[in-house]
């Protein structure tokens, strides 16, 4: 059996359960963006020299394969469950990192270090994946429970993990040189 089946040569692909859809289908776009996120986190992991961070990123990649499968699976098929425990673990990780003395509590400029730049790219793709899943749900399609919560929490984790790594390295990626200056209500 070859991965080169030629079945996708005309812009169609199979969802789990053999349902054939266009490669531009919202479900395909959503799980394709999650697949992209898995690869970007893999890149971040490949340049990470800290074993604890690397192990956690690999664990997240494994979780994302389950999330990807849950998004790819159409109603009527057995949809993998995204447990609240994986979301709670991410939430706990975020809270631990937020509690680090001196952690950045401001917007940051991506690119201070190669690893944190990769994590910032992953965060941006994670946010895009979240938007694609919202589009899918708003189109009337069923989306597995907890997918959006997982992606939302993961983007928080990716951002704060980058800031913790920068802090440990003595890097300053703070957006503002004058912390009292506000450009918009959001900032």
pLDDT tens string, the chain, 187 residues long: the values are: 777 766 656 577 676 667 777 666 898 999 999 999 999 999 999 999 999 999 999 999 999 999 999 999 888 888 889 999 999 999 999 999 999 998 877 788 899 999 999 999 999 999 999 999 999 999 999 999 899 999 999 999 999 999 999 999 999 888 877 766 655 544 4
Q: Determine the Cα–Cα distance for residues 92 and 110; give it in Å rounded to an integer.
A: 24
Q: Is 153 in contact with 91 (CB distance < 8 Å)?
A: yes
Residue spans of the domains in the chain: they are 14-169
- Which pairing describes strands 20-22 and 12-14: parallel, antiparallel, or unpaired? antiparallel
Alpha helices in 73-178 (DSSP H): 84-98, 114-138, 147-169
Per DSSP, the three-state class of 26 is helix
Neighbours of 79 (CB within 10 A): 19
Query: In the prediction, which pLDDT does 30 show?
Result: 95
Three-class HEC string of 134-159: HHHHHCCCCCCCCHHHHHHHHHHHHH
Hey, what are 170's tokens? Answer: 């003595």
Query: In the prediction, which pLDDT does 6 show?
Result: 67
How far are the Cα atoms of 89, 107, 109 from residue 23, in angstroms, in the given order?
Answer: 33, 36, 34
Query: In the prediction, which pLDDT does 9 show?
Result: 60
Q: How many residues does the chain have?
A: 187
pTM, to two decimals: 0.88
Q: Determine the Cα–Cα distance for residues 55 and 48; give it in Å rounded to an integer.
A: 10
> What number does CATH give the domain 14-169?
1.20.1200.10
Query: In the prediction, which pLDDT does 137 show?
Result: 95
């Amino acid at each position: 059996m070859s991965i080169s089946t030629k079945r996708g040569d005309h812009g169609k692909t199979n969802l789990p359960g053999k349902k054939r859809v266009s490669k531009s289908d919202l479900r395909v776009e959503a799980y394709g963006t999650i697949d992209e996120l898995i690869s970007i986190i893999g890149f971040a992991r490949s340049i990470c020299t800290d074993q604890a961070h690397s192990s956690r990123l690999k664990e997240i990649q494994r979780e994302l394969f389950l999330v990807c499968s849950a998004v790819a699976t159409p109603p009527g098929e057995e949809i993998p469950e995204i447990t609240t425990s994986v979301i709670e673990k991410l939430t706990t990780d975020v809270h631990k990192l937020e509690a680090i003395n001196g952690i950045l509590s401001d917007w940051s400029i991506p690119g201070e270090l190669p690893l944190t730049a990769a994590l910032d790219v992953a965060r941006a793709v994670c946010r895009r994946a979240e938007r694609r899943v919202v589009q899918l749900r708003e189109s009337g399609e069923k989306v597995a429970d907890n997918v959006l919560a997982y992606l939302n929490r993961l983007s928080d984790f990716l951002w704060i993990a980058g800031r913790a790594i920068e802090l440990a390295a003595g890097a300053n990626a703070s957006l503002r040189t004058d912390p009292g200056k506000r450009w918009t209500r959001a900032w």
